[in-house]
């Protein structure tokens, strides 16, 4: 949104695990989110991220457990945890964002900044095809799809993601 409203403030952009306004299957995100987060209690609670961000394969789940360990390394200056007070507002915003309308992705053609789009091969939150749709409609976008991964591909392949992001930002 900043890129659209104040393009002079953005030199390069990295879009990770996202989709365009009104993208394919985006109207179903709220339902998918409800299934993923509300399906059953998670013990410990942060293990919900194993299903939401990582593939169900042994390698994906192992990467997820490593991610959970990393999230607890920094104890000070952490963002507050998402809670039930903010979740309904986020789900409603996602629902509104996902509504398909004629020409809803036309705005993508106006984004002139070099853009790196990154996603997992099977994003269960925002269908992976939307990353391809964005790349096809943004004139200076490149796309990386990480294998055997979900919504948290950058967490599953952190070293590779940092390498790709660094190369992109330094280009």
What's residue 72's pLDDT? 80
Q: What's this model's pTM, rounded to 2 decimal places?
A: 0.85
142-150 average pLDDT score: 97
Q: d(Cα 140, Cα 137) in Å, to the nearest integer?
A: 9
Q: What does the pLDDT look like over 13-33, one tens digit per residue?
A: 999 988 898 888 877 776 666
Cβ contact 49:68 at 8 Å: yes
Q: Is 145 helix (H, G, I), strand (E, B) or coil?
A: strand
Of 164 and 38, more confident:
164
Domains of the chain and CATH, by start:
2-170 (3.40.50.1820)
> Please, which pLDDT band fits residue 100 given cuts at 50, 70 and 90?
confident
> Please, which pLDDT band fits residue 7 given cuts at 50, 70 and 90?
very high
Tokens of 150: 């979900």
Of 34 and 70, more confident:
70
Q: d(Cα 66, Cα 76) in Å, to the nearest integer?
A: 20
Q: What does the pLDDT look like over 121-139, one tens digit per residue?
A: 999 888 999 999 999 999 9
Task: Report the alpha-carbon angle 38-99-32, nearest 5.
Answer: 20
């Amino acid at each position: 949104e900043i890129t659209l409203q104040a393009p002079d403030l953005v030199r390069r952009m990295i879009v990770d695990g996202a989709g365009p306004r009104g993208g394919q299957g985006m109207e179903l995100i709220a339902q998918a989110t409800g299934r993923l987060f509300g399906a059953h209690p998670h013990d410990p609670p942060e293990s919900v991220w194993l299903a939401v961000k990582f593939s169900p394969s042994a390698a994906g789940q192992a990467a997820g457990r490593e991610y959970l360990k990393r999230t607890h390394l920094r104890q000070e200056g952490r963002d507050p945890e998402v809670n039930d007070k903010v979740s309904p507002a986020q789900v409603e915003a996602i629902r509104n964002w996902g509504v398909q309308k004629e020409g809803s992705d036309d705005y993508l053609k106006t984004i002139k900044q070099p853009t790196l789009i990154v996603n997992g091969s099977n994003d269960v939150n925002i269908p992976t095809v939307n990353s391809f749709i964005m790349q096809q409609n943004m004139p200076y976008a490149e796309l990386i799809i990480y294998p055997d991964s979900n919504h948290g591909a950058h967490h599953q392949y952190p070293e590779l993601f940092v390498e790709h992001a660094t190369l992109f930002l330094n280009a």
